[in-house]
Structure 1
Amino acid sequence: MIASNASLSGCAGSDGAGGALCAQLENTRAYRTSLTPTGHRVVAVCLGVTGTLGLLTNLLVLVLFCRYKLLRSPINMLLVNIALSDLLVCLLGTPFSFAASTQGRWLIGGAGCVWYGFANSLFGIVSLISLAVLSYERYSTMMGPTEADASNYRKVSLGIGLSWAYSLLWTLPPLFGWSRYGPEGPGTTCSVDWTAKTTNNISYIVCLFVACLVLPFMVIVYCYGQLFRAIKQVSGIHTAMSRRREQRVLLMVVIMVVCYLLCWLPYGVTALLATFGPLGLVTPEASIVPSLLAKTSTFINPIIYIFMNKQFYRCFQALLRCQTPKRGSSIKSTSKVVTKAVRAGAVVAGNGAGNNTWVTEGIGAGDHNMAVMVASLDQPPEGADG
C-alpha cells in the first residue's frame, strides 16, 4: 500500500516491467524496511494463520462440491467461484509474502513483485465481484416472476465469466502503463503503487476504488436490503411462522455487510489516504494492518457464505462421518412451508395490500425460488434453530 524502504533482492537479471521497477527503486534508494525483526515475525504469523485457514476452508468447499451431487446447483457454482479465487490467493500469493516476512525482505525480485501484485489484485477483485453477483442472483431468483430452473447454469456461468473478465479489466492496465504494481507496506508485499502523485496514477486509483469496492458494496446492500424487505412484508402477512426467520435473515445480512466492510474498507481508505494525503501520512507499519485484514476475507468468506449454509453444513457432517448427507428440511420441506405461508398471504395481499402483491407473487413463484433463499441465506447449522 505504501511504497516501503527495503533493499529489493533479485533485481539483477530482471527485464521488462520488473527491471524497470528494480531500476527505479534502486535509483531512489527508497526501499528499506522500517519494521523491526519482531514486527516482521508478527506479520509472518498472521499471514501463516490466514493462509492456512484460507487454504483449508476453501479446499474443503471444493471437496464437498465435488463429492456431493446435491450441492451442484447454479447458485452454489457462485460459492465455488468465490472459494476458488480465495484458494488461489492462498496458494499463489500468501506463501510469497509469508516467506518475505520471515526474512524481513522481498525475496523473488522485481518481476516477482509485479506478478504478486497482479495476481493478488486479480483474485481479490474476482472474489469481491462474485459476492456482488451472488447477491444479485439471490435477489433475482427470489423476486423473479417465474420459477427458477435448477438445471439452468447459463445465467450463473455468465456471472462467473463476468467476475473474471471484470477483474482482468481492472488489473491488466498497470501492466501496460496506467499506474503500476510495486512494493507496499513494510516491503514484504506488493500491490498497486498507491503513492505516486501523477495524474496517471491517481486517475487509476479513483476508478479502481469506485469500480471494485464501492460498486460491489452498493449492489450487495441493495440486493440484500430488497430481500429482507420482501421477507419482512411476508412476515407481516403470516407473523406466526416468519418472525424468527426475519430475524435470522437480518442477522445474516448484517454479518455479510459488516465483514465486507471490515475486510476491505480499511484497505481502500488507507490506499486513498496514501494517494491523496501528504507523503508519509500513512507509515508502512500502519499500512500493513489493512492489508492483513483484506487477506482475512479468504477464510471469512467460506465461513459466512458456505458453512452457515445448511446444505453445505449437512454435507460437511456427512463427510466427517463417512455417511450419506441427510436431505432433511433444508430445501424442499422448508420451502413448502414458507411457500404455503406466502401463497396464503397472497390472498390477503390481493384483498387489501395493494402494492405488496408483487412481493408475494415474486416470492411464491415456486418452491425452488424460496428454497434458494432459505437454504443459501438464512439457514443456521442444524440444532441452532431449536
Structure 2
Amino acid sequence: MDIYTSKLSPAVDYGAGAFLLLIAILSIVGNLLVLLLAYKRSSQMKPPELLSVNLAVTDLGAAVSMYPLSIASSWNHYWIGGDTTCIYYGWMGFFFGVASIATLTVMAVVRFTVSMKLHSHMEKITKRTVQVMLALTWLYALLWAVFPLIGWGAYGPEPFGLSCTLAWAEMKEHSPSFVISMFAMNLAIPAVIIVFCYFGITLRLYFYYNSKENISIMQNKVKLQRRLMLIAVLISAGFIGCWTPYGIVSLWSIYSNSSITPHVSMLPCLFAKTSTVYNPLIYYIFSKSFKQEVKQLLCACIRSKGCRGSHPENLTENTVCVVCDGTTVKEELQLKPLFRKHTELPIHNL
C-alpha cells in the first residue's frame, strides 16, 4: 500500500478532518485577536510582552501553514502532494513546535528573574534584550528544523498516512542520536527549566507575602504576580501536556517491539495540534480586560447598539501579554487610587 494512503476508514478521516477544521478556526481567530489587540496597544507595550506576542505568532503560523493541507488530505483519504508536501508539513510542524517551547522557556526564565527583585524598581530587561532573545529562539528552531534536511534525522509520513512529521522508524536505524538529542533539548530540558522557574517563583512569592517586613503595597504586588504566574503556568502546562502523549507514543514506536495501530498513533497527533488553541482561551478566561476588549472589538465589528462597556484606556490590566507583564488591576484587586502608581509589577520598570 502507498505510504500516503490513509490507513483509516473514510468515516474516521472525515471526522479527523472536521476536528482539525474546528481547531484551525479557533486557533486562527483566537491568535489573530491576540495579535490585533497587541497591535492596538503597541505604543504602550513593555519589552517582555513581545514574548507573549511571539507565542501567538508561532501558534498562528502553525495553524495557517499546516492545518489546511492536513484537512484537505483527510477528506481526500490520501496525502496530497506526496514527498514534497510531506517534507514541507513536517518541517513546519517541527519548526513552529521548537519555537513555541523555546519561547515558553524564555518566558519562565524572565518571570523567575523578575520575581527575584520584587523590591527593585531599576531596569531589569530592555527591549533590545528581548529582541535578541526572540531572534535566538527563532534561530534555535530553524537550526533544529534544518537538521533532518541535511541528514541528521528525517521527515516522513505518520503511521496512519494523513500527516507528516519526523520519520521515527527511519531515525531508529539511521539517526538514533538525533532522537535522543531532540527529546532532551526540546522537551525534557525545557520542561525541567520551566518547572524549576515556576516552583522557584512560587516559593519567593510565598515568602514575600508572609514576610512581616512587607507592607500592603508589596503584598498587592505579590498577589498580582501570583495571578500572572498562574496564567503562565497554565500556558506552559497546556503546551507540554499536549505534546507529551505524542512524544511518548513516538518513543514507544521506536524502542518497543510491539507495533502501534494507526488509530492509536492518530489520537496523540490530533491532541498535540490543539496546543495552538489554548493560549487565547486562557487569556480570555483569566484576563477580564482582555475579555472586555474582545467584546468591544466584536461589538464594533457588528455595530451593535446594544453593546456597552468601559473604554479600553480605562482598563489597567495588561490585556494581551498577561504571561510576562501586567499593570494595576483595580477591578480585580480593588486597590485604592493612592496605591496605583506603587502597585505596578517590577517587570514594568524594564
TM-score range, shorter chain: 0.7 to 0.9
Contact 1:148 1:368 in 2 (8 A): no
Paired position in structure 1 for 2:274: 296
CA distance in 1, matches of 2:311, 2:127: 25
Which residue identity lines up with residue 298 of structure 1 in the other structure? T
1:176 pairs with one of 150, 158, 163: 150
Paired position in structure 1 for 2:189: 215
Does residue 49 in structure 1 map to residue 36 in structure 2? no
Normalised to the residue count of structure 1, the TM-score between the two structures is: 0.73
CA distance in 2, matches of 1:59, 1:332: 23
The answer for unaligned runs of 5 or more in structure 1 is 9-31, 341-364, 373-386
Paired position in structure 2 for 1:24: none
Change (3 A) 1:157 1:37: same
Which residue identity lines up with residue 193 of structure 2 in the other structure? V
In structure 2, the residue corresponding to 1:191 is in which secondary structure? Answer: strand
Contact 2:90 2:155 in 1 (8 A): yes
The alpha-carbon deviation at position 303 of structure 1 amounts to 2.4
Paired position in structure 1 for 2:49: 76
CA distance in 1, matches of 2:9, 2:174: 34
Contact 2:156 2:164 in 1 (8 A): yes
Paired position in structure 2 for 1:143: 116
1:90-138 deviation digits (Å, cap 9, x = unpaired): 1110110111001111011211111110011101111111111111112
1:325 pairs with one of 308, 312, 318: 312
Contact 2:86 2:156 in 1 (8 A): yes
Paired position in structure 2 for 1:16: none
Which residue identity lines up with residue 269 of structure 1 in the other structure? I
The answer for unaligned runs of 5 or more in structure 2 is 301-309, 318-325, 336-341
Paired position in structure 2 for 1:272: 251
Change (3 A) 1:316 1:305: closer
The alpha-carbon deviation at position 191 of structure 1 amounts to 0.5
1:369 pairs with one of 323, 346, 349: 346
Which residue identity lines up with residue 300 of structure 1 in the other structure? Y
In structure 2, the residue corresponding to 1:195 is in which secondary structure? Answer: helix
Contact 1:6 1:105 in 2 (8 A): no
The alpha-carbon deviation at position 256 of structure 1 amounts to 3.7
Change (3 A) 1:306 1:142: farther
CA distance in 2, matches of 1:122, 1:148: 36
In structure 2, the residue corresponding to 1:105 is in which secondary structure? Answer: coil
In structure 2, the residue corresponding to 1:49 is in which secondary structure? Answer: helix
Does residue 283 in structure 1 map to residue 256 in structure 2? no
1:271-323 deviation digits (Å, cap 9, x = unpaired): 1111111252x222111111111110111123235763455445334434557
The alpha-carbon deviation at position 143 of structure 1 amounts to 1.9
Which residue identity lines up with residue 85 of structure 1 in the other structure? T
In structure 1, the residue corresponding to 2:170 is in which secondary structure? Answer: coil
Does residue 225 in structure 1 map to residue 199 in structure 2? yes
Does residue 192 in structure 1 map to residue 166 in structure 2? yes
In structure 1, the residue corresponding to 2:164 is in which secondary structure? Answer: strand
Does residue 260 in structure 1 map to residue 234 in structure 2? no
Change (3 A) 1:120 1:306: farther
Which residue identity lines up with residue 43 of structure 1 in the other structure? A
Contact 1:65 1:71 in 2 (8 A): no
Change (3 A) 1:85 1:223: same
The alpha-carbon deviation at position 173 of structure 1 amounts to 0.9
Superposed CA RMSD in Å reads 3.2
1:172-227 deviation digits (Å, cap 9, x = unpaired): 11101112100014111100001126453221111111111112211211111111
Farther-moved stretch of structure 1 (113-122 vs 69-78): 69-78
Normalised to the residue count of structure 2, the TM-score between the two structures is: 0.80
Contact 2:153 2:171 in 1 (8 A): no
Paired position in structure 2 for 1:58: 31
The alpha-carbon deviation at position 141 of structure 1 amounts to 2.4
Change (3 A) 1:332 1:279: closer
Contact 2:55 2:100 in 1 (8 A): yes
CA distance in 2, matches of 1:200, 1:177: 9
Instruction: Give aligned pairs, total.
Output: 319
CA distance in 2, matches of 1:99, 1:148: 53
CA distance in 1, matches of 2:86, 2:272: 18
Does residue 164 in structure 1 map to residue 138 in structure 2? yes
